[in-house]
Structure 1
Amino acid sequence: MAVVLCPVYGTAASIVFVFSGTFGTFGDHLVRDIMLIIVSVISALALTYISLLLFTFLRREAHTTRQAADFEWHLLVPCLNEESVVAETVSAARTSFPTAHVWVIDDASDDRTGTIVRGLQDFDNHVHLITRVSPNARTGKGDALNAAYRQVGQFVGDNPHRRQHTIIGVLDADGYLSDNTLDLLAGPQAFGDEQTGGVQIEVWMKNRNDKRPRPLNGRWKNLVGKVLIRLQDIEFRTANSAMQLLRVKTGTVGMGGNGQFNRLSVLDHLAEVDGEPWGKKLSEDFELGLKILSLGYRTHYTRDAHVSQEALPYFRRLLTQRTRWAQGLLECASLLPRLRRAKVLNVAGLLELHFLMTQAWLSMINLLVIPILTILAIVDGGTWLWQSTSQLLTLFAAIIFLVLPYAMWGPLYRIRAGAKVGWLNSVGLGLLFLGYVYLTYVFYARAIGRMLTGRNAWAKTKRNADDLRQLDTTPLRIIPTAAPLLDRAVVQELAIELEGREEYAHELISTFAVIWPKRLANVQLATAAEDRDATWDAIASIRVAADMLGATRLAGTAAHLAKFVEAGDFEKLREALPTLEQLGADTVEEIRRDVVAAS
């Protein structure tokens, strides 16, 4: 298809830019002629690529699930000062996937990250903590993942069959996996194929419905924050997803930093070749995927499972994050010779990767050439825009070239990604997404500048939840503090109901402690979105579980919060959430003292 589309788009671009006369008469000035040809070629390549993305994205290919129990699952969570999110991430993973092991890598955090994870370990032997200390810590995410790889390798043992059927997943500290993830990854399109070395799943923004993503700011800055979050959700669930689906066809699927899964035996092979699986590039995830391909293994992508993460509502943080990603991608160009020598990719795969790696440079050429051509046309032609209908039509065609390929992702976000937005909103979001896409010119320019000047050190991106800690919130006394945190009589009755086995009751109560951070996060997310049904369900889940275990004070608080939901008073509910959070923490500590200590 590309062989047909590229000449067609090339001809159209030549008519618009070279032969229309809008940007000057071709043949008058050699330098301008060269610039016009360059713009035409770049436009043809870009439109061909975008058309391929569109055709691929509109196809629907379902994936088959199998039993996750066919494999052993280990989830790695690299952490540096993640006290605000790590508990809910571990809790979500252990709640959704009871057989999976979660390995938190504390990379010399200054906060309570390690303490929080050790607290969860009191209740769950599938939660592991890897503590890195200076001078061997904070040397890059790749090094942290390599440390975890060695620990997991020791845990799994040397049995080749077991290592072949052990899958290592990587989650950001704020990442939630969809409940179908492991069953889908066990399917024949993924790790059910013995040749598959790595699989990446789709990425969603979990705070996409947040009504007040910038709690320290006013209405307008929150509006900007909401738009930025939604545009990031569009980016990952449409354009980025389409790129990965196209790479499924070309055999060049890339690994991402969140929601990547790799076969342990393939990581072993990489360790034999390179010393360690993960490298030191800023995009160590993408680097890993390229190295997996170079060994002849297959990488795959699926939209049918997803990982949710925080989107950034602050432009400055987004700029920093994306510049880092762009610089990491540029660094990975050094692996292209290795892939060419390996001779494992077909022509389509090599072309796709080389086009991807040159996008930054092509963008910079456009950024320089198009303004120069426009200025020259104005200087030479005076009122050139209005001289003829043909030139107006040419200008309109040029705008279509620049607008439609990017604005279409807004409606596709509604149609194909299933986002709950109206038609008018989807069109408006598409137009906003156009501006968002053109921000890549800024990202690439900064990334190239940093790379050329030898700067590759980056500060960690601040979590949105860290801002909430700056709010002046006073816990509300919703019910009398005389109510017990944990009613021992209820615990004893529970043991009687469970065949008189007190250890069964202890296990059930310990499970409550593990699930608590995720239950709290469900309430927080639903409240932030002001979703009455979701908030009601999340609070009801806490109330029912607390009642069953005899957590009387927590159950009473949840019942009181339900009244705010019923009244639609989300402002009071937000004010009351610190009380719920503190009571939950106190209840878990009570469980730790009475249940864990006694077992």
Structure 2
Amino acid sequence: MALALCITFLGYVMAILLPFLRHQKTAAGDPQSFEWHVLIPCLDEERVVHRTVTRMREMHPSAHVWAIDDDSSDGTLTILEDLARTDLRVHVVRRTPPQARQGKGAALNAGWRAIRRHLEMVHGEDYEKAAERVVVGVIDADGVLDPDALATLSGPTIFGDTQVGAAQLQVRMVNRGESGRIDAGDPEPVTRFGRLLVTLQDLEFRSVIAAMQHLRRSLGSVGMGGNGQFSRLSVLDLIAEQHGTPWHGSLLEDFELGLHVLLVGRRNEYCNDVWVAQEGLPSARALVRQRTRWAQGGMECLRYLGAVLRSRNLSTPAALEICYFLLIPWTQLVGSVVYVAAWGFVIRYAVMTPAGVTGWFAGGAWGLIPLIIVFGIGPLAVWGLVYRIKAEPGTGRGRALLLGLAYWIYSYLMIVSVWRAAFRIARSKSDWVKTDRVYQGLAKGSAPRAAGRAHPPSTSGSLATSAAEPATFTR
């Protein structure tokens, strides 16, 4: 059983690796053909949000930025409202209890409502026609968006194709400590272990996950991520007509949105040529906590299995790939038990063989070593070399090989996360735990607000949301 699982995994690795290695650059288009609105959900983001919004406006001056303050207890709201006073394309959406702090999906829905109200006032009766050319992006509060992102997203194979409803950008880690590079300009972690963890996350997103998305492109099952996702407003509205809101209650609200885009008959695309950069986590504890939330969200999305299999808008290969992805957390649970049991049998045979461990090994058990290398270590360690070829060609061969071996060990953290997620589901725990920021910057002149302090009156450029989520413009 363990061997069967290993062969299946090896086959999947080969299936995602080949399309990735053959990738061709995506043609760019004219970003002026679209209207761009970017949602930035914020909860206690005073360390990073000023820099993020400022960069976004400097590098993408045509885009509107909608910062959603989810009842922050620090100086986030003050920073955002100061920015909105001086920039007509910066908008603040305020969420207050009891609706606030209900997860990222709920915050994004508040931003979507605000954009709709804004565009209904701007376009009036032509709103529905305008919504088809309005693209709504989602960027994390620590995110840095590639200066070429909007041009590439406007290309003929992305939003230039009217059948494309959403697109996901490549994700990379900004705190790799490489001065002079906007995608890696943040200070690297202090400890060697922290630097290794950040690099492995960069490797994971820019090679493993990117390769998965390339296979999905060919099958028609591209998934959305929580950072760097872009969707047509008309498609978000269509999902809301059928389900009430675009984003839903899963802890993996990004993948859930991508599923809904596919189920309403539109296509998702993945763009590996432009990126969004975010902080990598330098702590194993923080990383496991983050991945536990992702794993639990993936497990919750299993409820869509029937809808995927029944959908007439999905091809059979696309539906099977999505089903495989939905089952991954559960197969990891089963697989970890099977592998432990298999090793238990191996140790038992080694100990009980009359000739002893040495005789057992010489008698043919040595064949386990190439099996472990080919089916256990190889499918994970190969990504170090792929990372060197496709993402960071300046990485030496020796370092790439060591990174691959480290990624094999790193993968066991994901097993721990899956088990923690399973225990959380068993205990009916579904709270959303926000990942703390690493960057220590604080906007000049801003000061944290005391926890529990009442929000100041709404200022120019802001929207206020109450329990019923009404909002009014003050500008």
TM-score computed with the length of structure 2 as normaliser: 0.87
SS in 1 for 2:86: coil
Q: Tell me the distance in 2 between the aligned counterparts of 1:188 and 1:345.
A: 22
Q: Tell me the distance in 1 between the aligned counterparts of 2:426 and 2:414.
A: 18
SS in 2 for 1:344: coil
Q: Which residue does the alignment assign to 2:317?
A: 348
Q: Which amino acid aligns with 1:244?
A: Q
SS in 2 for 1:119: helix
Unaligned runs of 5+ in 2: 179-185, 447-475
- Specify whether residues 449 and 385 from structure 1 end up closer, same or farther in structure 2 by C-alpha distance, changes over 3 A only: farther
Q: Tell me the distance in 1 between the aligned counterparts of 2:206 and 2:358.
A: 38
1:19-38 to structure 2, matched below 5 A, reads 38=1
1:239 and 2:239 equivalent? no
Q: Tell me the distance in 1 between the aligned counterparts of 2:164 and 2:230.
A: 10
Alignment length (residue pairs) = 429
SS in 1 for 2:37: strand
SS in 2 for 1:122: helix
Q: Which amino acid aligns with 1:323?
A: T
Contact 2:247 2:256 in 1 (8 A): yes
Q: Which residue does the alignment assign to 1:64?
A: 27
Q: Which residue does the alignment assign to 1:270?
A: 239
SS in 2 for 1:253: coil
Q: CA deviation at 1:344?
A: 1.6
- Specify whether residues 119 and 46 from structure 1 end up closer, same or farther in structure 2 by C-alpha distance, changes over 3 A only: same
Q: CA deviation at 1:349?
A: 1.0
SS in 1 for 2:372: helix
1:174 and 2:142 equivalent? yes
1:379-390 to structure 2, matched below 5 A, reads 379-382=348-351, 383-384=356-357, 386-387=359-360, 388=362, 390=364
SS in 2 for 1:408: helix
1:186 and 2:154 equivalent? yes
Contact 1:105 1:129 in 2 (8 A): yes
Contact 1:360 1:444 in 2 (8 A): yes
Q: Which residue does the alignment assign to 2:386?
A: 412
Q: Which residue does the alignment assign to 2:171?
A: 203
1:513-528 to structure 2, matched below 5 A, reads none
Runs of 4+ that moved beyond 6 A: none
Q: Which residue does the alignment assign to 1:510?
A: none
Q: Tell me the distance in 2 between the aligned counterparts of 1:463 and 1:103.
A: 20
Contact 1:206 1:308 in 2 (8 A): yes
- Which shifted more, 403-412 or 40-49? 40-49
1:105 and 2:48 equivalent? no
2:83 to 120, 125, 138: 120
2:415 to 441, 454, 458: 441
Q: Which amino acid aligns with 1:417?
A: A
Q: Which residue does the alignment assign to 1:261?
A: 230
Q: Tell me the distance in 1 between the aligned counterparts of 2:340 and 2:305.
A: 32
Contact 1:385 1:392 in 2 (8 A): no
* Greater share of residues in helix: 1
Contact 2:166 2:231 in 1 (8 A): yes
- Specify whether residues 399 and 384 from structure 1 end up closer, same or farther in structure 2 by C-alpha distance, changes over 3 A only: farther
Contact 2:220 2:268 in 1 (8 A): yes
- Specify whether residues 237 and 386 from structure 1 end up closer, same or farther in structure 2 by C-alpha distance, changes over 3 A only: farther
Q: CA deviation at 1:148?
A: 0.9
- Specify whether residues 61 and 213 from structure 1 end up closer, same or farther in structure 2 by C-alpha distance, changes over 3 A only: closer
- Which shifted more, 153-162 or 193-202? 153-162
Q: Tell me the distance in 1 between the aligned counterparts of 2:295 and 2:147.
A: 31
Q: Tell me the distance in 2 between the aligned counterparts of 1:409 and 1:237.
A: 10
Q: CA deviation at 1:419?
A: 4.8
Q: Which amino acid aligns with 1:433?
A: Y
Bigger relative contact order (CA 8 A; separation at least 6): 2
SS in 2 for 1:75: strand
Contact 2:177 2:188 in 1 (8 A): no
Q: Which amino acid aligns with 2:141?
A: A
SS in 2 for 1:257: coil
SS in 2 for 1:102: strand
Unaligned runs of 5+ in 1: 1-37, 216-221, 470-516, 518-580, 584-599
2:10 to 47, 72, 92: 47
SS in 2 for 1:231: helix
TM-score computed with the length of structure 1 as normaliser: 0.69
Percent same amino acid among aligned pairs?
39
Q: RMSD in angstroms over aligned alpha carbons?
A: 1.8
SS in 2 for 1:193: coil
Q: Tell me the distance in 1 between the aligned counterparts of 2:325 and 2:359.
A: 38
1:477-516 to structure 2, matched below 5 A, reads none
Q: Which amino acid aligns with 1:261?
A: F
Contact 1:250 1:349 in 2 (8 A): yes
1:131-142 to structure 2, matched below 5 A, reads 131-142=94-105
- Which shifted more, 183-192 or 375-384? 375-384
Q: Which residue does the alignment assign to 2:48?
A: 85
Q: CA deviation at 1:582?
A: 6.6
- Structure label with greater radius of gyration: 1
Contact 1:377 1:384 in 2 (8 A): no
SS in 2 for 1:455: coil
Q: CA deviation at 1:392?
A: 1.0
- Specify whether residues 133 and 380 from structure 1 end up closer, same or farther in structure 2 by C-alpha distance, changes over 3 A only: same
Q: Which amino acid aligns with 2:111?
A: A
1:313-462 to structure 2, matched below 5 A, reads 313-382=282-351, 383-384=356-357, 386-387=359-360, 388=362, 390-462=364-436
Q: CA deviation at 1:389?
A: 6.0
